[in-house]
């Protein structure tokens, strides 16, 4: 009986299931022949028992009815392969900003191996290079597969990829004044999710007063879970300026109204200052200013100072100063205008407060007095400035002046008789008497006439006297009564024309 085998057994992997030779192949004498070879039991071929290699399986038949008379044998080669299951070394977790990572696998095979990932297909290369930046955030399943003939083995691991959050600070803060309100730091961070720390920091707020004056480095740190894997940090410098110290000083503490006060600060020489004078007047700018107080009282001036960086100190107050009221000097003359004939004038003090002051009178430079009231007799004509100065207990002074006009009241004295030539030296001349002031002597003229109207004497000089002779030359005129005529102007240009008689008495 022929032992013909029809068909083949494809290469098998040692891990494949057993093969039923009776069904996998066709023989010429189905069910009569005998199978033999490594891994063969009856009609079953077991790759695992056969082992790796090429195995020859034989199929033998005998003739009938005489067994052994015509034996027949056929053979079949069966190839068995195996593959070692790979082991991928644990990897990750990684941040998505990490560099490309090389996967490690054992055993290492030179060919027939592939890397793949269904969740992050672009993250793993054919050579086992894992790129976190291309991976899906979270777990990415990475598979390593090995093929050796009909054998395939693969293994997978999960690699965790965490998103890296940079602690980038895109803005700046400050400078601040120490009294400024808190500021939110997060506005300077490009990404949220980080933690702020440093002087003056609470949560994401920075409070200048808590930090204190100076330059402070605050830190923004990002560190997504798991902690310590993808940390990042960046510092931000913030300048906090102290409150400027500007004192307020004045050059005077008290004085009389109006009081001029110079105000200044001795602790600063730059920046800007606004002064409040405490009297309701508008604010004035300047590091040093001057102000006039025109209402008596007690005042305090304050400075609001702003330094070059904008920090303000408005708490400085100068020592208070006092503006004393002035006395009010006033008086009333008994006459504002008079003549030298009636030259007595009384001055009544009407100052306030009358009994609280001391007084000084200046009577036109002619006399002085410290009495409350005073008087003066004017003997000459003219315009006289009368000044009263009042001084109170605070040494505040006021003065007032009034012009008194004393007009000339020309009193002309002309004798009505004289005795020239009597030899006794008395009453020998006809002498005209005028006051020393108030007369314009350049206008004086004296003429003397006899009873027939002949002018016997004339002069323009009041100091030239008639001696009783015609034109003051030669013998005396006879005893008789003569007519005199006098004319002149006073200092007010008032014209005087006087006419009278004088008698010459002979011895």
Domain count, the chain: 6
Contact 4, 61 (CB under 8 A): no
Contact 375, 335 (CB under 8 A): no
Establish if 455 belongs to a structural domain: yes
pLDDT in tens, 252-304: 999 999 999 999 988 888 889 999 999 999 999 998 999 999 999 999 999 89
Residue 386 has pLDDT above 70, yes or no: yes
Q: Is residue 304 part of a domain?
A: yes
Pairing of β 214-222 and β 232-241 = antiparallel
User: Does one domain contain both 93 and 146?
Assistant: yes
Confidence label for 5 from pLDDT (cuts 50, 70 and 90): confident
Q: In what helix (H) or strand (E) does residue 215 lie, and over which residues does it extend?
A: strand 214-222
Query: Residues 303, 288: contact at Cβ < 8 Å?
Result: no
Q: Mean pLDDT across the stretch 446-456?
A: 96
Of 365, 383, 407, which closes a domain?
407
Residue 458 lies in a domain: yes
Judgement on whether residues 130 and 205 belong to the same structural domain of the protein = no
- pLDDT per position as a tens digit, 141-150: 999 999 988 9
Question: How high is the pLDDT of residue 110?
Answer: 78
d(CA 461, CA 313) in angstroms, rounded, equals: 85
Integer Cα distance of 81 and 342 in angstroms = 162
**Full DSSP string of 15-54:** TSPPEEHHHHSEETTTTTSEEESTTEETTEE-HHHH-SEE
Q: Do both 13 and 64 map to the same domain?
A: yes
The predicted pLDDT at position 103 comes to 94
For residue 266, the enclosing domain spans: 249-324
Here the tokens at position 409 are 């009241």
When mean pLDDT is compared across 28-32, 34-38, 207-211, the lowest value belongs to 28-32
Q: How far apart are CA 445 and CA 459, in angstroms?
A: 6
Q: What is the CATH number of the domain that holds 317?
A: 2.60.40.10
Q: Provide the strand spans (E) within 393-480.
A: 397-407, 417-418, 439-449, 455-459
Q: Taking residues 244-259, what's their average pLDDT?
A: 90
Give the pLDDT of residue 28. Answer: 62
The pLDDT of residue 65 is: 65
Does residue 9 sit in the same domain as residue 61?
A: yes
End of a domain among 324, 352, 371?
324
Mean pLDDT, the chain, as a whole number?
91
d(CA 251, CA 263) in angstroms, rounded, equals 7
Q: Is residue 412 part of a domain?
A: no
Other Cβ atoms less than 10 A from the Cβ of 198: the count is 16
Residue 290, token pair as written in the block = 């001057």
Confidence of residue 2 (pLDDT cuts 50, 70, 90): confident
Please check whether residues 232 and 256 belong to one and the same domain. no
Q: Could you tell me which residue, 374 or 424, shows the higher pLDDT? A: 374
Query: At residue 32, does pLDDT exceed 80?
Result: no
Among 81, 97, 124, residue at a domain's last position: 81
CB 251 within 8 A of CB 261: yes
Mean pLDDT across the stretch 327-351? Answer: 93
102 exposure class (CB count in 10 Å sphere: 0-12, 13-18, 19+): exposed
| pLDDT at residue 30 is higher than 70 | no
d(CA 362, CA 220): 85
Is 485:449 a contact under the CB 8 Å cutoff? yes
Residues 451 and 383 in one domain: no
pLDDT tier at 327, thresholds 50, 70, 90: very high
Q: Is residue 234 part of a domain?
A: yes
Q: Note whether 261 and 248 are within 8 A (CB).
A: no
Residue 474 has, within 13 A of its CA and on its CB side, a CA count of 6
Mean pLDDT of all residues in 347-359? 94
Mean pLDDT of 381-397: 95
Query: Of the ranges 19-28, 323-332, 367-376, 449-458, which one carries the lowest mean pLDDT score?
Result: 19-28
- pLDDT over 80 at 1, yes or no: no
pLDDT digits 0-9 by tens, 401-416: 999 999 877 788 999 9
Distance CA 266, CA 247 (A): 7
Note whether 422 and 500 are same-domain residues: yes
170 in a structural domain: no
How far apart (Å, rounded) are the C-alpha atoms in residues 124 and 131?
Answer: 6
Q: Are residues 91 and 72 in the same domain?
A: no
Q: Say whether pTM exceeds 0.75.
A: no
Do 141 and 126 fall into the same domain?
A: yes
pLDDT digit string, tens, across residues 42-90: 999 999 999 999 999 998 887 666 566 678 888 999 999 999 899 999 9
Higher pLDDT, 479 or 316: 479
Clarify whether residues 302 and 258 are in a common domain.
Answer: yes
Q: Does a structural domain hold residue 169? A: no
Section 327-353 average pLDDT? 93
Q: How far is CA 390 from CA 12, 136, 187, 294, 369, in A?
A: 139, 101, 72, 19, 12
451 and 498 part of one domain: yes
pLDDT tens per residue across span 108-163: 887 889 999 999 999 999 999 999 999 999 999 999 999 988 999 999 999 999 99
> In CATH, what number is assigned to the domain containing residue 141?
2.60.40
* Position 340 in a domain: yes
199 & 224 share domain: yes
């Amino acid at each position: 009986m022929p032992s013909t085998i029809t068909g083949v057994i494809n290469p098998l992997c040692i891990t494949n299931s057993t093969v039923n030779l009776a069904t996998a192949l066709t023989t010429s004498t189905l069910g009569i022949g005998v199978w033999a070879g490594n891994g063969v039991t009856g009609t079953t071929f077991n790759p695992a028992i056969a082992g790796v290699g090429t195995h020859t399986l034989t199929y033998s038949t005998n003739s009938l009815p005489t067994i052994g008379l015509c034996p027949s044998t056929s053979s079949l080669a069966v190839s068995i392969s195996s593959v070692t299951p790979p082991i991928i070394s644990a990897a990750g977790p990684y941040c998505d900003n990490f560099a490309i990572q090389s996967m490690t696998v054992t055993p290492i095979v030179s060919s027939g191996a592939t890397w793949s990932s269904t969740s992050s297909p672009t993250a793993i290369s054919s050579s086992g290079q894992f790129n976190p930046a291309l991976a899906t955030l979270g777990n990415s399943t990475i598979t390593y597969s090995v093929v050796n003939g009909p054998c395939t083995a693969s293994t997978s691991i999960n690699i965790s990829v965490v998103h890296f959050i940079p602690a980038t600070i895109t803005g700046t803060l400050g400078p601040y004044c120490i009294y400024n309100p808190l500021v939110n730091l997060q506005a300077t961070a490009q990404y949220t999710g980080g933690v702020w720390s440093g002087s003056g920091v609470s949560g994401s707020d920075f409070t200048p007063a808590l930090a204190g004056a100076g330059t402070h480095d605050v830190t923004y740190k990002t560190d997504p879970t798991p902690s310590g894997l993808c940390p990042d940090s960046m510092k931000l410098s913030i300048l906090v300026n102290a409150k400027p110290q500007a004192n307020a000083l004045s050059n005077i503490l008290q004085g009389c109204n109006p009081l001029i006060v110079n105000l200044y600060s001795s602790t600063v020489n730059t920046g800007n200052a606004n002064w409040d004078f405490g009297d309701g007047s508008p604010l004035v700018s300047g590091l040093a200013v001057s102000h006039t107080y025109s209402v008596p009282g007690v005042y305090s001036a304050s400075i609001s100072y702003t330094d070059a960086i904008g920090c303000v100190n408005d708490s400085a107050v100068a020592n208070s100063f006092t503006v004393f009221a002035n006395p009010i000097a006033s008086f009333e003359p008994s006459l504002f205008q008079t003549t030298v004939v009636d030259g007595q004038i009384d001055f009544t003090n009407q100052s306030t407060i009358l009994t609280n002051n001391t007084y000084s009178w200046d009577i036109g430079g002619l006399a002085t007095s410290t009495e409350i009231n005073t008087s003066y007799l004017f003997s000459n004509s003219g315009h006289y400035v009368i000044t009263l100065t009042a001084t109170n207990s605070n040494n505040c002074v006021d003065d007032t002046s009034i012009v008194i006009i004393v007009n000339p009241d020309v009193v002309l004295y002309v004798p009505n008789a004289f005795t020239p030539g009597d030899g006794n030296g008395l009453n020998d001349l006809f002498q005209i008497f005028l006051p020393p002031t108030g007369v314009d002597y350049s206008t004086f003229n004296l003429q003397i006439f006899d009873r027939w109207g002949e002018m016997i004497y004339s002069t323009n000089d009041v100091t030239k006297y008639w001696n009783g002779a015609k034109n003051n030359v030669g013998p005396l005129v006879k005893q008789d009564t003569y007519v005199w005529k006098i004319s002149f102007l006073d200092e007010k240009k008032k014209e005087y024309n006087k006419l009278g008689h004088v008698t010459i008495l002979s011895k």
